[in-house]
């Protein structure tokens, strides 16, 4: 137990914004408002294009639509609260609201779905003749159901364990949203179990899922090398590298926040890393996964012109 007054309990937490300088608040609000609007509009358009166009009713786009929905939910979990805090004089969040934010931010990470999308593309590139036999409607449904179940189990476990902890007098979170690791540091209870779950379960997700994704893309690149057309190689490599860069952006920033020891001096760097995986990545994913795709561009054109099939 940490020393302090253990008879008091915290009912709300104080959040910090990205910059304490008042003259920068309108600029930050405008930047994040525009980023959030781009995220919402981009992901909603992708979902509508896929749903409305019968040509895109395939497993690959089925997964992409759900991934866009997850990105939309992830951004909506953190960005609106951050913008409200920028505008408010009292930057607080209730205890229950903080737990809810942690629960949903962990749930909407889409970790498993990234691996599923990589596997789907692997089968399409390396085993095109067997694609219909492997990626059956039953298999796609099973993979899609497993994704939220696994991530929800992870988020629910952390939330339940976090709810068992006590928070005394220290209630200042040096972040723009409630972040799991920072709340563990604020607790005046023994957080050994929470730390073990974070390290072992979180470590497994951070190691195993990227390993599956990287293995899939390595096999895809090996198959691309055998393509005779130089233009075909360039197109496939370009798509593969852009998808891999999006995955790396998310994981590198997440690892920087959760698994690299931080100090008081690195608090601002942690906030920047959190912005990258919670705000920037959901905004960029529609462009990375969709606008470089010829079929997706055609579907978007038909949707915007009102000629959806």
Q: What is the mean pLDDT of residues 94-100?
A: 92
DSSP state of 1: -
Thinking of the domain 12-304, which architecture would CATH place it in? Answer: Up-down Bundle (1.20)
The share of the chain scoring above pLDDT 90, in percent, equals 19
Lowest mean pLDDT among 4-8, 128-132, 213-217, 258-262: 4-8
How much is the pLDDT for 103? 94
Q: Phi and psi (nearest 5°) for 24?
A: -90, -10
Burial of residue 189 (CB within 10 Å: 0-12, 13-18, 19+) is middle
247 contacts 153 by C-beta, under 8 angstroms:
no
How much is the pLDDT for 235? 67
CA 58 from centroid of its chain's CA atoms: 23
Query: For the segment 131-171, what is each residue's pLDDT rounded down to a tens digit?
Result: 989 999 999 999 988 888 888 888 999 999 999 998 887 88
Work out the pLDDT band at 1, boundaries 50, 70, 90.
very low
Distance CA 163, CA 166 (A): 8
- Of 12 and 263, which is predicted with more confidence? 12
Cα–Cα nearest to 167, from 7, 9, 11, 4: 9
pTM: 0.85
Domain segments of the chain: what residues? 12-304
Q: What is the mean pLDDT of residues 79-92?
A: 83
Distance CA 117, CA 144 (A): 10
Distance CA 210, CA 218 (A): 12
Q: What is the mean pLDDT of the chain?
A: 81
Work out the pLDDT band at 70, boundaries 50, 70, 90.
very high
Q: Tell me the helix, strand and coil percentages in the chain, rounded to 5.
A: 75, 5, 20
Q: What is the mean pLDDT of residues 256-279?
A: 66
Residue 36 has pLDDT above 90, yes or no: yes
175 contacts 258 by C-beta, under 8 angstroms:
no
Strands, DSSP E only, in the chain? 12-15, 92-94, 172-173
The share of the chain scoring above pLDDT 70, in percent, equals 84
């Amino acid at each position: 137990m940490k020393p302090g007054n253990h008879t008091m309990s915290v009912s709300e937490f104080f959040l910090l914004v990205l910059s304490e300088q008042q003259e920068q608040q309108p600029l930050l609000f405008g930047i994040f408002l525009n980023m959030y609007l781009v995220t919402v509009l981009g992901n909603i358009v992708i979902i509508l294009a896929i749903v409305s166009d019968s040509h895109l009713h395939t497993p690959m786009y089925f997964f992409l639509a759900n991934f866009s929905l997850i990105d939309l939910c992830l951004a909506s979990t953190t960005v609106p609260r951050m913008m409200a805090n920028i505008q408010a004089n009292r930057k607080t969040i209730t205890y229950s609201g903080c737990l809810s934010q942690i629960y949903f931010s962990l749930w909407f990470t889409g970790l498993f779905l990234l691996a599923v999308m990589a596997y789907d593309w692997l089968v399409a590139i390396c085993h095109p003749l067997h694609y219909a036999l492997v990626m059956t409607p039953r298999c796609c449904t099973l993979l899609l159901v497993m994704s939220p179940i696994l991530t929800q189990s992870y988020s629910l476990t952390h939330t339940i364990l976090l709810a068992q902890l006590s928070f005394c007098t220290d209630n200042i979170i040096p972040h723009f949203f409630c972040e799991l690791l920072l709340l563990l540091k604020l607790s005046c209870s023994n957080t050994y179990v929470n730390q073990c779950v974070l390290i072992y379960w979180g470590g497994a997700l951070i190691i195993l899922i990227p390993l599956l994704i990287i293995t899939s893309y390595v096999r895809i690149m090996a198959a691309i090398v055998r393509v005779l057309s130089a233009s075909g190689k360039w197109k496939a490599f370009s798509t593969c590298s852009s998808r891999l860069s999006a995955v790396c952006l998310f994981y590198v920033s997440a690892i920087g926040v959760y698994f690299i020891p931080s100090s008081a001096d690195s608090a601002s760097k942690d906030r920047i890393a959190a912005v990258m995986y919670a705000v920037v990545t959901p905004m960029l994913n529609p462009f990375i996964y969709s606008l470089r795709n010829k079929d997706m561009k055609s579907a978007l054109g038909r949707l915007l012109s009102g000629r959806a099939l």
